[in-house]
Amino acid sequence: MEKHKKILLVDGMALLFRGFFATAFSGNFMRTKEGIPTNGVYQFLRYFLDAVQRFEPTHVICCWDMGSKTFRTDLFPDYKANRSKPPEELIPQFDLIKEVTKAFSIPNIGQENFEADDCIGSLARQFAADDDVLILTGDQDMLQLVDTGISVAIMKKGIGNYDIFDQESFYDKRGIHPHQLIDLKGLMGDSSDNYPGVKGIGEKTALKLLREYGTVDALIADTNQLPQGIRRKITENLDMLYLSRKLAAIRCDISINCTLEEAVWHYEPAEMEDKIAALDFSKFMK
């Protein structure tokens, strides 16, 4: 059966944070008449509307984190503990942007104890069985989801610049397969998410090992063939290797109550225009 739906899954947190910091460097924040900062919301809309125009989805869903505590912090309390609190001007925009996406009739999806990534991964796997899925994000971790029917558009600097990854192009761009990214993070860790992987193994060595052995499991089954230094690092950090791999893996099996009927890309102009006008976004009114 020919696929006819094109489902855009939006990483709401990635777009909002990116939009906020792209416009906050000057310290001159856009505000509503009531004084609520709106620079992140404004830039989010610029990113989002460009993507809709570029990729022409038939359905759109936006996914969000539901707080800093998830099953990953239960597994490893230091997970993302290195991240500073959101700037004061960004905090009121978390709720505000969901009001805006709701005005566009876009479902806002989040699940307690999971990250937006896990919601996106689960929805992507569910919908890709019958239709085409495109994930819009700035987060490279999402690349592990690339598969049959699932592509990822990584936002680059500026608006309208994307690096598109699909199953056909991924290996040529990265030199490994999408599913190997989980093992890659298990070996090298992730400083931005604050888990170490195997101490002393960086990206270059991790890539070399995966290209040779394919998986961490195959690597561990054949540790006697490894150079002594690498073998020692892996055996001394085996528990953290397994834990890091678990932290890196996006869950694709959580139950999410969102149907495609709810996600059809179609909005009521009056409702959308009222919300845009209330935010004093005159450019979008045009």
Q: Residue 250 pLDDT > 60, yes or no? A: yes
What are the sequence ranges of the domains in the chain?
6-174+256-285, 180-248
DSSP-derived secondary structure for 19-88: HHHHHHTTS---B-TT--B-HHHHHHHHHHHHHHHHH--SEEEEE----S-BHHHHH-TTTTTTSPPPPT
Q: Which of 17-26, 227-236, 275-284 has the lowest mean pLDDT?
A: 275-284
Question: Is it true that domain 180-248 has CATH number 1.10.3720.10?
Answer: no
Q: Reply yes or no on whether the pLDDT at 182 is more than 60.
A: yes
Number of C-beta neighbours around residue 42 at 10 A: 23
Q: Which of residues 274 and 285 earns the better pLDDT score?
A: 274
* pLDDT mean over 223-233: 92
- What interhelical angle do 180-188 and 203-213 show, nearest 10? 140
Q: How many helices (H) and strands (E) does the chain have?
A: 13, 6
pLDDT at res. 1: 47
Distances (CA, A) of 73 to 68, 79, 245: 8, 6, 14
Predicted confidence band at 285 (pLDDT cuts at 50, 70, 90)? low
Query: Looking at domain 6-174+256-285, does it have CATH number 3.40.50.1010?
Result: yes
Distance, in Å, from the CA atom of 188 to the CA atom of 195, rounded to the nearest integer, reads: 9
d(CA 179, CA 164) in angstroms, rounded, equals 17
The answer to whether the beta carbons of residues 36 and 96 sit under 8 Å apart is yes
Identify the pLDDT of residue 2.
55
CA dist 73 and 191 (Å) reads: 15
If you average pLDDT over every residue of the chain, what do you get?
A: 94
Average pLDDT over residues 87-102: 95
Lowest mean pLDDT among 26-30, 44-48, 268-272: 26-30
Q: What's the pLDDT at 91? A: 94
Q: How confident is the model at residue 130 (pLDDT cuts 50, 70, 90)?
A: very high
User: What pLDDT band is residue 223 in, cutting at 50, 70 and 90?
Assistant: confident
- Please give the average per-residue pLDDT across 165-187, as a whole number: 96
Position 101 pLDDT exceeds 70: yes
